[in-house]
Amino acid sequence: MSDLPSGSVPNRSFWSGKRVLLTGQTGFKGAWCALWLAELGARVTAFALPPEQGPSLYGDASVAEVCDSHFIDLRDAASVADVVKQCRPEIVLHMAAQALVRRSVRDPETTWQTNVIGTLNLLNALRDQPDLEAVLVVTSDKVYANDGRGLAFREADPLGGKDPYSASKAACDILVHSMAQSYFPAVPVATVRGGNVIGGGDFSEDRLAPDCVRAVVSGAPVILRQPKSTRPWQHVLDCLCGYLLYAEALARKPDTPRAMNIGPESAHDLPVLAFAEQLLAEMGRPDLLSIQEATYTVEAGKLAIDASRARDMLGWRDRLVGIAAIRATARWYQAWHAHEDMARFTRQEITAYQGVE
């Protein structure tokens, strides 16, 4: 990654020694974030549900070795409060969620309870914490009321959602801002909206990159149901870089806005088909594609967000753009498939992204 374009990266002097409470460390983005925070010298306490069966970045990259990791359910208010009390956090990064759209359609109750009531439990537990400097809650780029016109959403646009995941995340966003005004007058509490994140270590169901990897491993084709849909694909390190920079800004600058989009410029958006073709080609199996277009779906055909606020205020920019993001993703999975030391490999990807020799 030595030829990465310029752009701000997290400030080690800010994070070193900082008590950070992270939720969702057993998930894809959360595991990368735990490793990055540890590399920055933060003292990380984390909680989430146990990783799901099968391969996981949490296990493969030895995430439990870099943080004080707890397995609890966000819906269990007493357990959440206990971990918060033990941690005495200065910075909170809330990533835990039920984040899968099709699973949310199958199980709306768990989705709503986790994404809304779980977030309420966390914020309630944080209300009496004396050392809080900032709380950042990750929602989604799907929180916006999508009218299908394909315009890039800005932070002030109306919120909504046609499926339980999107709607619950929009409700979570509203919840956070109401709680902030009611109970956190002196602490910056904000939401950050990103999505369609790709990168090594994602093994979730019904996500395109993991589906392509499973196809390569099994030899069975990956089935595309919405090949023409367009998404703002974003590498996990670009996304997390934005989150960490935003948390820093909230803690340091009281006038920082309380909502922020993190996403690539629309010029780099790719249709599902083009993305899958490129990723499979990078992994040496361009033949593993099957198109079976769905007659109906709750997901939007085009999704785009405007992240100019993050670029202007945080000095953030997406550094792994377009094909570079796909190649970085393929590189991780190829190393994983070759049984390399993924804890070491993943840490090297983080330090290379930051420009650390």
CA distance 202 to 198: 7
DSSP secondary structure, 289-311, as one string: EEE---S--SS-SB--B--HHHH
Residues 6+ apart with CB under 8 A from 239: 29, 194, 197, 262
* Residue 214 is assigned to a structural domain of this protein: yes
Query: Does residue 339 belong to any structural domain of this protein?
Result: yes
Cα–Cα distances in Å, from 209 out to 165, 277, 352?
20, 11, 22
* Within a domain: 175: yes
Classify residue 1: in a domain, yes or no: no
Q: To the nearest 5 percent, what fractions of the chain are helix, strand and coil? A: 45, 15, 40
* Confidence at residue 267, expressed as pLDDT on a 0 to 100 scale: 60
For 57-92, letters b (16+ CB in 10 Å) and e give: bbbbbbbbebbbbbebbbeebebbbebbeebebbbb
Residues forming a β-bridge with 147: none
With respect to residue 113, please indicate whether it lies within any of the assigned structural domains. Answer: yes
d(CA 247, CA 90): 11
The per-type count for the chain, helices as H runs and strands as E runs, is 14, 13
Q: Which residues of the chain have pLDDT under 50?
A: 2, 357
Instruction: Please state, in angstroms and rounded to a whole number, the distance separating the CA atoms of residues 78 and 265.
Output: 42
CB-CB contact of 194 with 262 (8 Å): yes
CA–CA distance, 238 with 321 (Å, rounded to integer): 9
Angstrom distance (rounded) from CA 203 to CA 28: 8
The Cα-based distances of 133 to 38, 74, 227, 262, 347 in angstroms read 19, 22, 44, 21, 27
The tokens for 228 are: 């023409």
Residue 4 lies in a domain: no
Kindly give, in sequence order, each residue whose CB lies less than 8 Å from that of residue 132, ignoring residues fewer than 6 positions away: 89, 90, 92, 126, 184, 187
Q: Which domain holds residue 269?
A: 12-354
Q: What pLDDT shows up at residue 6?
A: 61
Domain CATH for 68: 3.40.50.720
Residue 305 to residues 29, 272, 352: CA-CA distances in angstroms? 19, 17, 27
Q: What is the pLDDT of residue 357?
A: 36
pLDDT tens digits, residue range 286-319?
999 888 876 555 555 577 899 999 999 999 999 9
Which strands sit side by side in the sheet containing 19-23, from one edge to the other? 68-71, 43-48, 19-23, 91-94, 134-138, 189-193, 259-261
Convert 213-249 to b/e letters by CB count within 10 Å (16 or more is b): bbbbeeeebbebebbebbbbbbbbbbbbbbbbbbbbb
**In a domain? residue 3:** no
Residue 7 inside a domain? The answer is no
Contact call for residues 28 and 204 (beta carbons, < 8 A): yes
The tally of domains found in the chain comes to 1
